[in-house]
Amino acid sequence: MISLTKRQMDILKQLLGQADYINVKQLAELYEVSERTIRYDLDFIESFLKEYDVTLIRKPGKGIYLEISPEKTSRIINELLQLNHYVVTKKDLIYMLSIQILLEQNTTLESLGETFQISKNRVFQYMENVEELFNQYGVKVEKKPSRGISPVGNELDIRNAFASLFNEAITLSALSKQYIFQQFDEELLHLSKRFTKDFENHLSIQFSDDSLDELYLILCFQHTRLQRGYIADYPFVEKKEFLKTKDFQQLKEIYQSIFHITLEDDEVVYLLKQVKGAKVSVYPIGDVPFSKQEDAYQITYLFATEVEKRLGINFKQDLEFMNGLMVHLQVALHRLFNHQKIENPLTEQVKYKYRFIFEITRKALLKIEELYHFQLPEEEIAYIAMHLGASYERHSFSGYMPTALVVCGSGLATSSLLATRLKIMLPELKAFGPISMSNLDQYMDQEFDFIISTVPLTIKDYEVVVVNPLLEPEELMTLKKLVFKKTYQKQMDELIRTELPLKDYHELGDLIPMNHIQLHGDVDSWRNAIRLASQSLIENGFITNQYTHAMIRAVEELGPYMVFIPEVAIVHASSKEGVLKDGASLLALDKPIPFGDSEKVMVQLIFVICSTMSESDLFIQLVQILEENNNLEILKSSKRIQEILKLNNETAR
């Protein structure tokens, strides 16, 4: 078996997901290596694929393409998940060592070296990195000749470190879920699944697939710690609110019936906190799982009131929105106040594709954050924006749906948005679900034509169409010959007409200084256009080259969604990708150029926006100016920078 490096594996995954040719230059830019290195990597990939009887097509002038069947694609993806098919990187090994130390409690350098088939000296070299990871969660690494290596700290910190590290490792693709599951006994894993299923039945809910996996691992680790005599301990004032609840007693009884162990009260509280922090994908309409939280209800009501002022829609009448957001907020508030990290893999996509919905959500939440004295992370704002976007689209479109089973492995917000997008884009299709993968068997006796899933599935006698929860353009083209961009444009046009969140008067010169504006630009590609537009921001210390790479990568991965005003690209990326100061720049080209690889959208004006935080109003202020009267035509035809500095949102006066 040919071994692949991490980069070669990533390139192969990229090729497996490509619907068309991609050239060596694009791959070199994407992975920030030379074209010669990419060709060298492709030689290894080609040898690797021969073992699967798959041809790597390399055509001069066109690029690289995989000639492969869906069955072989699925097989190779599954194979790549196994760690022994590529060289373990330093990052991978650090996470593997960290999790192993937590699992074993007492181990040695020799034992760790033997487990991972590396030298004792190499383990020693990486221990400093392991200690840095542990320190983030308040856990120390104790090294004693008599006891070896042990994690030391508060029991709750140690458990939090385990949960955080395996989530972080999976998110960074350092480890697979399969690898972590394999560290536990199969019978223990089976009992954990039984417990979770019984608790779901008790509450008449379904946890999302991601949350189920997380709960299984947390249960296994809790049981392992209990077997070694390590018990969680909470102050009485913190646990008293749980002790007399029905859920507390029911959880304790379910655990005892399955594991044949009577949990201490503190351990029941620990477990109840974990299930309350898990994302829910299905819940009884009109009911909120667990004890009803007044804060979640009040925030939902206040948020619905605030966005109604901006969009003119009575969202409080949308029970699906109100109940869904209330359930989500109950989980989110629990995680927020218990210092559990909120992760949203769709944050950047929501900010790009639903920028106005995101901004409306952000501004509506400002008053709520001030009232409740907390600050929501971008990831949570994006989740709430997904709920709002789903409700907004239900009010904006209608249609009956015929027959497909929708399987969604993520949480309630993602499921809700996916279901709504399908209703909008495929009005002739009736969708059953969304359901989680764990409940798929229960629906196999239903009559439906095919399956739409957010995760790869192989179901006998059924075609499975794998989609992103936000439905990428190529996925929509597969389901129906409908261009996503036109629908997106329709939504954005309506939002721009109805949403006026900022009424202050602004001139273009207030937003973009003269030395950040370039006219008469001449470039040969959209990538070079972004680089040229970013140049003044880099030279003046607003961003680093990392931000430029991130913007280019966003267009490659998401398509030209930032082109929602004709011939204008408002390009941006995450504030975490090399933003030093808030700012903006403008590049005006002499003639339009194609923007993006897959869709030939023409662009003449390229704006780059950088913000150190998500709270910037610059995006909306800029759009208001661009939407005003003849400002766009003036920008395209101007010969001198002074002519455009006074362009403004005149109606705000």
Over residues 607-628, the mean pLDDT reads 78
- The SS3 of residue 93 is helix
Q: Comparing C-alpha atoms, which of 503, 168, 113 is closest to residue 341?
A: 168
CATH number for the domain spanning 199: value is 1.10.1790.10
What radius of gyration do the chain's Cα atoms show? 26
- DSSP SS3 for 57: strand
* Domain-ending residue, one of 247, 278, 309: 278
pLDDT, mean of residues 528-536: 95
* Top-confidence residue, 503 or 76: 76
Is 542 found in the same domain as 406? no
397-427 pLDDT, tens per residue? 433 345 778 888 776 677 777 887 777 666 6
How large is the greatest C-alpha to C-alpha distance in the chain, in angstroms? 80
Confirm if 619 and 359 have CB atoms less than 8 A apart: yes
Greatest mean pLDDT among 264-278, 492-506, 594-608 lies in 264-278
The reply to whether 102 and 176 lie within a common domain is yes
Per-residue CA distances from 316 to 366, 391, 566, 601 (Å)? 19, 10, 34, 38
Does residue 264 register a pLDDT over 70?
Answer: yes
pLDDT bin (cut points 50, 70, 90) of residue 467 is confident
Q: Mean pLDDT over residues 202-221, rounded?
A: 88
Q: Are residues 507 and 615 in the same domain?
A: yes
Q: Is the dihedral of CA 54, 60, 64, 67 positive or negative?
A: negative
**In the predicted model, is pLDDT for residue 572 greater than 60?**
yes
* 38 assigned to some structural domain: yes
What's the whole-number average pLDDT of the chain? 81
If phi > 0 it is left, if psi is from -120 to 50 it is alpha, else beta; for residue 597 that is alpha
CA gap 595, 527 in Å, rounded: 8
Q: Which residues pair with 586 in a beta bridge?
A: 517, 607
Residue 382 maps to a domain: no
Residue-level pLDDT at 401? 43
Work out the pLDDT band at 159, boundaries 50, 70, 90.
very high
Rounded CA separation 10/535 (Å):
29
Does any domain span residue 614?
Answer: yes
Task: Answer whether residue 293 is part of any domain.
Answer: no
* Statement to judge: residues 636 and 548 lie in one domain: yes
Give percent of the chain above pLDDT 90: 25
Which neighbouring-strand residues pair with 466? 453
**506 shares its domain with 647:** yes
> Residue 187: which pLDDT band, with cuts at 50, 70 and 90?
very high
CA dist., res. 86 & res. 3, Å (int): 5
Q: How far is Cα 276 from Cα 299, in angstroms, rounded to an integer?
A: 18
The phi and psi torsions of 605 (rounded to 5 degrees) equal: -115, 125
Last residue of a domain, one of 218, 252, 278: 278
Q: Is the pLDDT of residue 88 over 70?
A: no
Quick: pLDDT tens for 111-135: 888 777 678 888 888 999 999 999 9
Last-in-domain residue among 262, 278, 294 = 278
Q: Is the per-residue pLDDT at 494 higher than 80?
A: no
pLDDT, position 115: 78
Q: Can you spell out the DSSP letters for 274-300?
A: HHHTS-EEE--TT--SSSPPHHHHHHH
Please give the residue range of the domain that contains residue 219: 186-278
Q: Which DSSP state fits 516?
A: G
Does 218 reside within a domain?
Answer: yes
Q: Per the structure, how many domains does the chain have?
A: 5
> Same domain for 525 and 647?
yes
Contact yes or no for 449/403 (Cβ under 8 A): yes
| Of the ranges 49-53, 339-343, 568-572, the best mean pLDDT one | 568-572
Q: Is residue 426 part of a domain?
A: yes
Q: What CATH number does residue 454 fall under?
A: 3.40.50.2300
As a whole-number percent, the residues of the chain with pLDDT over 70 amount to 85
Please say if the pLDDT value at position 538 is more than 90: yes
Tell me the three state secondary structure of residue 452: strand
Question: Quick one: pLDDT at residue 482?
Answer: 34
Q: Identify whether 1 is part of a domain.
A: no
Kindly report the backbone phi and psi dihedral angles of residue 327, in degrees, each rounded to the nearest multiple of 5, phi listed first.
-65, -45
> Exposed/middle/buried for 428, CB within 10 Å: 0-12, 13-18, 19+?
exposed
Query: Which CATH number goes with the domain that contains 32?
Result: 1.10.10.10
End-to-end Cα spacing for the chain: 70
Q: What is the per-residue pLDDT for 356?
A: 74
Strands (DSSP E) along 208-290, which ranges?
A: 280-282
> What CATH number does the domain containing 554 carry?
3.40.930.10
51 lies in some domain = yes
Residues 6+ apart with CB under 8 A from 479: 425, 426, 452, 465, 467
Q: What is the pLDDT of residue 397?
A: 46
Does one domain contain both 176 and 191? Answer: no
Q: Coil, strand, or helix at residue 410?
A: coil
Mean pLDDT, to the nearest integer, of 295-312?
Answer: 86
Does residue 643 sit in helix, strand or coil? helix
DSSP string, 29-51: HHHTS-HHHHHHHHHHHHHHHHT
- Report which of 82, 116, 111, 222 is spatially closest to residue 159, judged by C-alpha positions: 222
Q: Same structural domain for residues 536 and 469?
A: no
176 and 196 share a domain?
no
SS3 state at 52 = coil
Same domain as 233, residue 158: no
- When pLDDT is cut at 50, 70 and 90, the band that residue 543 belongs to is very high
The reply to whether 263 and 168 lie within a common domain is: no
CA distance 613 to 293: 30
Q: Say which DSSP state 341 is in.
A: P
pLDDT for 457: 86
Q: Are residues 620 and 506 in the same domain?
A: yes
Per-residue pLDDT tens over the stretch 229-244 = 999 999 888 888 788 8
Torsion of CA 636, 638, 640, 644, to 10 degrees: -80
Residues linked to residue 568 through DSSP beta bridges, in sequence order: 565, 605
